[in-house]
Structure formats: structure tokens, C-alpha cells
Amino acid sequence: MKEIWEKAQEIIRERVGEHFYELWFHPVELVQVKDGQVLLDIPNRFFKEWIEDNYPGLVAEVLKPAAQDGEELKVKYRISEKQDPAAKKMDTLLETRKTRLASRGVYLNPKYIFKNLVVGQSNQFAHAAAIAVSENPGRAYNPLFVYGGTGLGKTHLISAIGNEVVDRFRNFHVFYVTSEQFTNEVVHAVRHGKTEELKAKYRNLDLILIDDVQFIENKTATQEELFHTLNTLYEAQKQIVISSDRPPREIRNVTDRLRSRFNMGLIADVQPPELETKIAIIQKKAEVERIPMPQEVIEFLARKIKSNIRDLEGCLIRLAAHSSLTGAPIDRDMAREILKDIISEDDKPLTVEAVAKAVAEHYGIKLSDMRARKRTKDIAIPRQVAMYLARELTGASLSEIGKIVGGKDHATVIYACKQITEKRNSDENFGRMIEGLLNRLKP
């Protein structure tokens, strides 16, 4: 048993990186694998929360070798600390909802309900549309197409429609699917000659929730199947809800008729939350998870975390885990110390190094590759982006900038800035991405 877990931990370490491994996976112990079930010992409930939110399926996957003939493993957690009664009650409520959903064949996150969703200026419109749709599925806006950046609450919002409809309409067939899952199903059906079954499954729904539809770019067979599915559902006045990280017009390589299907109902965007909304979201989350959070820490987080709501929640859980491990109450100093890798202090000017690091992370490449004198194509653009952003955001000189990204001279930096400026203006998606990076890095 010990060996299996050690091997699994090695894989996890590689997958999630040293930092998260030490924080979240190292303290976890494997108790047993039995009857298709994995039992893990964890120090407190925040570990379960964090692991499930950030790496769902990972533990089951790395323990697959321990399963009997490739069966799907279920992961259960055993919490070593004494659980407070309120937390227990909450868990029971969630379990009840989970069971109800499962009995109707709906796989939705039971936590993603309207009650847990904070409404602010940034998501007001999308929220109102979602409420209307859940009260009157098939009759209000069809399809409802929600788009916005990552971690801004799209999955939560469309799942809330699903959860609400399950509660309100006892006989409704509700189905949540990511476009990746849908693609896999189409591929599988085609390969095994089961397209009729697939059609029967999807065309008998009362509500379909399709998450992250942008992944169907370039996939012709999937687009074809999706188009016919949506058409059939639409004509039968069944509700369609779609999410995407960009509006329909920016989804590339999608057939015209599918795009126009996306465009036929209501399109609602979700924007990054304003400060007040961020504060309200942290308060809500702290309340739901019963994490004692002083107001000053709430405001500190809301001000410091620029990127998205998922990161905001991640910080909260990290603080809660630390606090319950050490027994120390959460305060500003703890927040500053524990979150120092995410939070940038105002008085520290942004360095070229930090910019390069953020760009490397964004593109999923190594900082060292960006700095090496190599000339590979997949490094060229990130490198230019880094030079451009460093020029925009830091006071560094051209030669300082050039030095950090692989010893380029100042002419190369100027050229890079020109290239990126042009690309920013001519390519909308690219422009949006640069905008996002700028916002994230801006002090």
C-alpha cells in the first residue's frame, strides 16, 4: 500500500508542481483501496475542497494501477480533525443534493446554485437571463449563450440553471456536458457505430447545458452533430444553454450555420468583478465554508487578487487550511506571508523578470527556455510578448529588457514591440489576451 501511494505521489508531484504538492498532497495519506473505493486521510476539510476543485479525478487516475480490471475508482476522504456540527450539516445537505442529482442522471456540482452566486455589476445581466431561463425553460431566451474570461463564474452560472430546473421541474431531463466530453462521445459513437444511441440521448433532453463550447473549433464531425442536436431541441422548444470563453463571432473555424444557431437567442457576457463584488464573494465563500475571516483580510484579498474568482477562492482555502493546521487565526500578516507567491506588494516595482515569468506561465513554457538563446518558433512569440509587456509596464531600459529574454539587443526589443502592437490591433483574440496579461500584471 505504502509503495503504491509513494509512486502515485511522485506522479502527482510531477503533475501539479513542487509547490502545490508540498502544500496539498504531501500531508495526505492513503488508507486503503477496496471495492472500487479509495480512502484517504486528510488533515481537514479544506484539503478535500482544494483537491477536488483544482484536480478533480487526479487521485483516482494515479491510483488506477491499484484498481481491479480498470474499474472507475471512487475517492472518499476521512478527516482527522473533529468536524464541527455546522460543517457536518452542510456536508449532509450537499450529499442530499448530490444524491438527488445522481438519481436523475444529472452530473452537476451541487454547490453551484443561485444562492451561492454573488451578483454584481459584472454579472448582473447574465444572472438575470439565467434566472429567467430557469423559471421558463425553452420559452425565455433560447439559446442562452454566456461568455467571459476564465474563472469568472460561467460554469457556476449555467450549473445553477441546471440545479434550479431539476428542483422546479420534476420530470425534466437535464444534462450538463462540456464540449470536450461531447466531442469524445461523438468520436466514440462514430467509431462504434452508435450514432443512433447518441442522437436518442441528446435529442430527448429538456435542458442541455454545454460548457466551454469553444473547444469545438476545427472539429467538423462534432459541429455537425451539435448543430443537429441543437436544431432538434430548439424546434421542440427545449432549452439550450451554452458557455464559452469568447463570443460566437470569435470562435474560429466553426460552420456558419452553427454560429448562427449560437447567435439566435440571447448573448450575455460576464466581466471581471469590481472591488465591491470581490469583497461580497469572499464574504459569501467564507460564510458558506465557515472560515472566520476578519474584514481587513477580506479587503486585503479583494484588493490584491486581480486575476479571477477562482484564484480568490483558492487564496481563501489556502488561508483556512493553514490556519486550521497551525491553530493560528487568520490575519493580515498571515495572508501576506502565505500568499506571497501570488500577491504583489505595491511598493515593489514590477521587474522585467516578473513579467517574463508571467508570460512564460501563460504560454506554459519554461522561463529558462525563454531566456536561452534558442530560436524556436514556439518561444519567439512569448518572448516578443514579454519584451512588449516589459516595455509597457516597467521602467527598465531596452537593453535591460533584452538581456532578460535571451540577450537581445535594443533593436530587437524595438522590433518586438512594433510586431506586437500591430498584432494587437489586427487580431482581436490576441488583443484580448494581451489586455488580460496587462490587467493581471498592472500594479
Task: In angstroms, give the least distance from the CB of 46 to ligand ADP.
Answer: 14
In contact, 336 and 296? CB cutoff 8 Å: no
φ, ψ of residue 364 to 5 degrees: the values are 65, 35
Size of the site for ligand ADP (CB under 6 A): 16
Contact 252, 215 (CB under 8 A): no
Pick 155 or 223: Cβ nearer Mg ion: 155
- The C-alpha atoms of residue 48 and residue 52 are separated, in whole angstroms, by 6
Segment interacting with ligand ADP (CB under 6 A) among 98-106, 150-158, 372-380, 394-402: 150-158
Examine residue 310 and tell whether it contacts ligand ADP (CB under 6 A).
yes
Backbone φ and ψ for 86, nearest 5 degrees, come out as -65, -40
Burial class from Cβ neighbours inside 10 Å (0-12, 13-18, 19+) for residue 352 reads: buried
Q: Residue 265, interface with ligand ADP (CB under 6 A)?
A: no
d(CA 133, CA 165): 9
Give the three cell numbers for residue 261.
444557431
Closest approach of Cβ 256 to Mg ion, in Å? 26
Residue 79's H or E segment, with its range, is strand 74-79
Q: Which is nearer to Mg ion, 118 or 385 (CB)?
A: 118
Positions touching Mg ion (CB under 5 A) are 155
CB of 211 to ligand ADP, least distance (A): 7
- Please tell me the chain's helix, strand, coil percentages from 3-state DSSP, rounded to the nearest 5: 60, 10, 30
Is residue 395 exposed (0-12), middle (13-18) or buried (19+ Cβ within 10 Å)?
Answer: exposed
Q: Which of 62, 73, 130, 152 binds ligand ADP (CB under 6 A)?
A: 152
Residue 150 interacting entry, from Mg ion, ligand ADP, none, C-beta within 5 to 8 Å by type? ligand ADP
Among 66, 67, 87, 117, indicate the residue that binds ligand ADP (CB under 6 A). Answer: 117
Determine if 281 is a binding residue for ligand ADP (CB under 6 A).
Answer: yes
Alpha-carbon gap, residue 40 to 59, rounded angstroms: 10
Q: In the numeric block, which cell numbers belong to residue 411?
A: 533593436
Cβ proximity to Mg ion: between 126 and 404 the closer is: 126
* Smallest distance from ligand ADP to CB 270, Å: 7
Shortest reach from residue 429's CB to ligand ADP, in Å: 17
Chain CA centroid to CA 335, Å: 23
Contact 180, 211 (CB under 8 A): no
- Is position 123 an interface residue for ligand ADP (rule: CB under 6 A)? yes
Q: Which is nearer to ligand ADP, 51 or 309 (CB)?
A: 309
Region of 76-84, 112-120, 355-363, 373-381 interacting with ligand ADP (CB under 6 A): 112-120
Q: Which residues are near ligand ADP by CB under 6 A?
A: 116-118, 123, 150-156, 281, 284, 309-310, 313
